[in-house]
Amino acid sequence: MRQFEQGQLTVFQSVLYQTTTAVIKTKEAVIVTDPNWLPNEIAEIKAYIESIIEDRKLYIIFTHSDYDHIIAAGAFPDATTIASEAFVNRINKEEVLEQIRQFDAQYYIEREYPIIYPPIDIVIKEDGQALELQDLTCRFYLSPGHTSDGLFTVVEPFGILLAGDYLSDVEFPFIEDYEAYLATIQKVQTIISEKDVEVLVPGHGTTTDNLDEIQKRIDVSLIYLNNLADGSTDETELQKLYPFYKGLQEMHELNKKAVNKNSHRI
Ligand SMILES: [Zn+2]
């Protein structure tokens, strides 16, 4: 279903985990993030892209390599793909593909396209690297912490931030590397003010064009990270903040382990 439409930006939302796919239409290109999850949802996204593509070039940005975000990579064989260098260099690619196959087997899901780990045409190696098109620039920033291969994209001059699995209103931070996660949230704070970000598209949850809400998402992430580090998390508070907390509790336990692993680092 369509979650958000404004100007060039249309955001689709899956029924699963409120995962989003952003589609941005410009003069010469259509830019898409993480097409997902279910076959009928992919068909809806594909039909929309086909209806607007004309002679535009199709780009797909993969925000990171978690399986839900690459699940339909095989449905767009002609797209020019973009992801971070760490995404390309991921060692255990077969493991991600196996997660997709397991998911599809569990729910008897048949797909009309192959399950692939997408080959990447434009590899992002450093902060500020850009893809310059006629009427817009995509500027990229590495965003490790949730996974090591995260990627932020700012679409200029529209002020759209494609955030991947950060700054969600339905998930607290899911942390793989605590220090990296903290640094990434600090980085996004700078990006938002320097690049005049006006619209935030998170990988899960609600797109927002409310600047106070964008700032609130940063603040809430920082509070969560700080509380996690000093062991002062108030779980009743988390239950109030996140309507699906029952389903997320296990992630909070894993986060505790991630922070402990970090603090024992030499
Ligand atoms: Zn995700």
pLDDT tens string 96-130: 999 999 999 999 999 999 999 999 999 999 999 99
Rounded to the nearest angstrom, the distance between the alpha carbon of 165 and the centre of ligand 1 is 5
Rounded to the nearest angstrom, the distance between the alpha carbon of 69 and the centre of ligand 1 is 6
Using a CB cutoff of 5 Å, list residues around ligand 1, an ion.
Answer: 66, 68, 165, 203
Prediction pTM value = 0.96
* Residue 113 tokens, joined: 């396209």
pLDDT category of residue 260 using cuts at 50, 70 and 90: confident
Rounded to the nearest angstrom, the distance between the alpha carbon of 83 and the centre of ligand 1 is 15
Q: What does the chain come to in residues?
A: 266
Burial readout 232-261 (b: 16 or more C-beta within 10 A, e: otherwise): ebeeeebeeebeebeebeeebeebeebbee
| Domain coordinates in residue numbering, the chain | 2-263
Domain 2-263's class? alpha beta
Rounded to the nearest angstrom, the distance between the alpha carbon of 116 and the centre of ligand 1 is 17
